[in-house]
Amino acid sequence: MKTIINPKRKDWSDLLQRPTQKLENIEETVNQIFDDVKRNGNSAISKYTELFDGANLKSNIVTKEDIDKASNQVSTELKNAIKMAKSNIEKFHKAQKTGKVEVETTKGVNCWQEKRPIEKIGLYIPGGTAPLFSTVLMLAIPAQIAGCKEIVLCTPPNKEGKIANEILYAAQLCGVNKIFKVGGIQAIAGLTFGTKTIPQVYKIFGPGNQYVTVAKQLATKFGVAIDMPAGPSELLVVADESANESYVASDLLSQAEHGTDSQVILVSTSKELVVEVKNEINEQLKELPRKSIAEKAIVDSKFIFLENEQDAIDLINEYAPEHFIICTKNEDFYINNIINAGSVFIGNYTPESAGDYASGTNHTLPTNGFCKAYSGVNLDSFTKSITFQKISKEGLKIIGPTIELMAEAEGLQAHKNAVSLRLKNM
């Protein structure tokens, strides 16, 4: 845990670096696996599943019997919790529906826009040290609401070749029935190229480690869209003397336990609070089952003291956190001035965990500073906007000369002719 007092603006960029591996080291591995999967399909995927996950599978397809058996092993209490989360996520994402937008831009010139679902989508659900069944809800629910026809889910198996019961239950609850036991780079490659079993998709969704993130970005070179670059989890908390140090510490640790490459940052205008939060983290760490993971992530954590709120918000916008928690007396200042963040949590009683699971917002968010340009997953992520136009004779008479003049000025005579011929025939 490093404490930095009033860092100079010229040092912010270095100070806010993420603890990630060098990109070139990752890209070489990703390119090799993509090439292998493209050429050898399922046999390559099986090889990497055994290599990385330790699972020797006869088939990577999850059957209906597998899903039913897994669902029966999930407790009633957890099923009810998942259903409540599903209900809230549905409410929030259904509210994001927008209707047809129609405008007569000039008399007789009618333009409109309509949304259409993306037909084939792939959902990547991390397994690893924490099988994220909550991510199934975050991706499958808006996909269903949007009307996507084919939803393919990939998630890594454990060494016994099994997928977490909760993941399969959540998938079944959301109507997903094409599920494959494949994770990591090879899953993204399979969804990109398609194999004898895994369908090729048009867009890939879901978070993952650095390798998965680079694999998703590589997929775009082969004509497959992605939701966003979403790598190791990160959280920034801004807090002053009014904050509860135990709450702040618990929020920081909630992200630190995601993985050793997660990053958590505290920005505060109170030196006393920084000390109190550090002490509280040390106490709470002792009780965590994932203590070793959280401890390694905390090594790269930063506690930054800044004397005024303007410097604080400027630094936060420079960092562009995936998750941003506000625990200050002057919360409106941060709410009104935050520009770069994935999702914002306000007040002492809004833990980041709420957004991860059950409040209704989506937890699939851009990381690594990509919040400066990307949004988190929402209903529009699963749709395309198509524009339409219809022009009457009267409309073309009005707008036609404008088109002719502009086309001629650009030296595109055929463009001009397409209008001129019509006008002469009127």
pLDDT digits (tens, 9 = 90+) for 238-269: 999 999 999 999 999 999 998 888 999 999 99
Active-site residue flag, 322: yes
Tell me the C-alpha distance between 88 and 82, whole Å: 10
Residue ranges with strand state E in 182-282: 203-205, 225-226, 234-239, 263-268
Q: Is 411 helix (H, G, I), strand (E, B) or coil?
A: coil
Domain residue extents for the chain = 2-20+232-360, 23-229, 392-425
Angle ∠(130,134,135) on CA atoms, nearest 5: 90
Which tokens sit at 342? 């994935």
The pair phi, psi for residue 327, each rounded to 5°, is -130, 75
Nearest to 368 by CA among 240, 215, 220, 213: 213
Query: Looking at the domain that runs over 2-20+232-360, which CATH code has it been given?
Result: 3.40.50.1980
Residue ranges with strand state E in 160-247: 178-181, 203-205, 225-226, 234-239
Q: What is the pLDDT of residue 94?
A: 98
Q: What is the pLDDT of residue 300?
A: 83
DSSP code at position 397: H
Tell me the C-alpha distance between 13 and 293, whole Å: 26
**Beta carbons within 10 angstroms of residue 241's beta carbon:** 14
Q: Is 320 helix (H, G, I), strand (E, B) or coil?
A: coil
Q: Which fold has domain 23-229?
A: Rossmann fold (3.40.50)
Tell me the C-alpha distance between 349 and 369, whole Å: 26
3-state helix, strand, coil in the chain (%, to 5): 50, 15, 35
Residue 23 CB-half CA count within 13 A: 8
Are 182 and 198 in contact by the 8 Å Cβ rule? The answer is: yes
Q: What is the pLDDT of residue 22?
A: 61
Place of tokens 């930063």: 302
Tell me the C-alpha distance between 12 and 22, whole Å: 20
Note whether 23-229 and 392-425 share their fold. no
Which tokens sit at 65? 């019997």
Place of tokens 């694999």: 215
> Which of 166, 323, 352, 363 is flagged as catalytic?
323
> Which of 322, 352, 394, 408 is flagged as catalytic?
322
Give the CA diameter of the chain: 84
Q: Which CATH class is domain 392-425?
A: mainly alpha
Q: Which residues are annotated as a binding site?
A: 124, 186, 209, 233, 255, 258, 323, 356, 410, 415
Low-confidence ranges of the chain (pLDDT < 50): none
Tell me the C-alpha distance between 60 and 363, whole Å: 27
Nearest to 306 by CA among 274, 267, 252: 267
